Amino acid sequence: GAGVSQTPSNKVTEKGKYVELRCDPISGHTALYWYRQSLGQGPEFLIYFQGTGAADDSGLPNDRFFAVRPEGSVSTLKIQRTERGDSAVYLCASSLGFVGSTDTQYFGPGTRLTVL
């Protein structure tokens, strides 16, 4: 079956611009996560959705970052007034969303964001 998909695969923008990154989770997965990964580092958690609601947004670095999941499937990560420090690979993951230690997250291919 289809895995997690993300678009675009690459995004180059200029400092100060607005960007949107899209994630389409695995069908039937109710939980969706956004992470970002800088070179040489592990993924860093940003936000988690259970259904349509953001259940945990404690990883968002500041109020320039916002994410939505209006119908409980596709999610969009929005970054306003981009800064060069926002350059990273943005990874989306999804899981079945059951309560328990073994609910497993599967990652999409990522969007590489470069802010010039």
Partner 1 sequence: QKEVEQNSGPLSVPEGAIASLNCTYSDRGSQSFFWYRQYSGKSPELIMFIYSNGDKEDGRFTAQLNKASQYVSLLIRDSQPSDSATYLCAARTTTGRRALTFGSGTRLQVQP
Is residue 14 part of the contact set for partner 1 (CB under 8 A)?
no
Q: At its nearest, how many Å lie between partner 1 and the CB of residue 46?
A: 9
Burial class of residue 35 (count of CB atoms within 10 Å of its CB; 0-12, 13-18, 19+): buried
39 lies in the binding site for partner 1 (CB under 8 A):
no
Beta carbons within 8 Å of 107's beta carbon, 6+ residues apart? 4, 43, 91, 92, 93
CB nearer partner 1, residue 82 or residue 105: 105
With contact defined as beta carbons under 8 Å apart, do 98 and 29 qualify? no
Q: Does position 106 bind partner 1 by CB under 8 A?
A: yes
Contact flags string 56-85 toward partner 1, x per CB under 8 A? x-xx--------------------------
Q: Is residue 44 a contact point for partner 1 (CB under 8 A)?
A: yes
Q: Are strands 10-13 and 111-115 parallel, antiparallel or unpaired?
A: parallel
Name the helix (H) or strand (E) containing 47.
Answer: strand 44-50
Rule CB under 8 A: which residues touch partner 1? 31, 33, 35, 40-45, 48, 50, 55-56, 58-59, 91, 95, 101-110
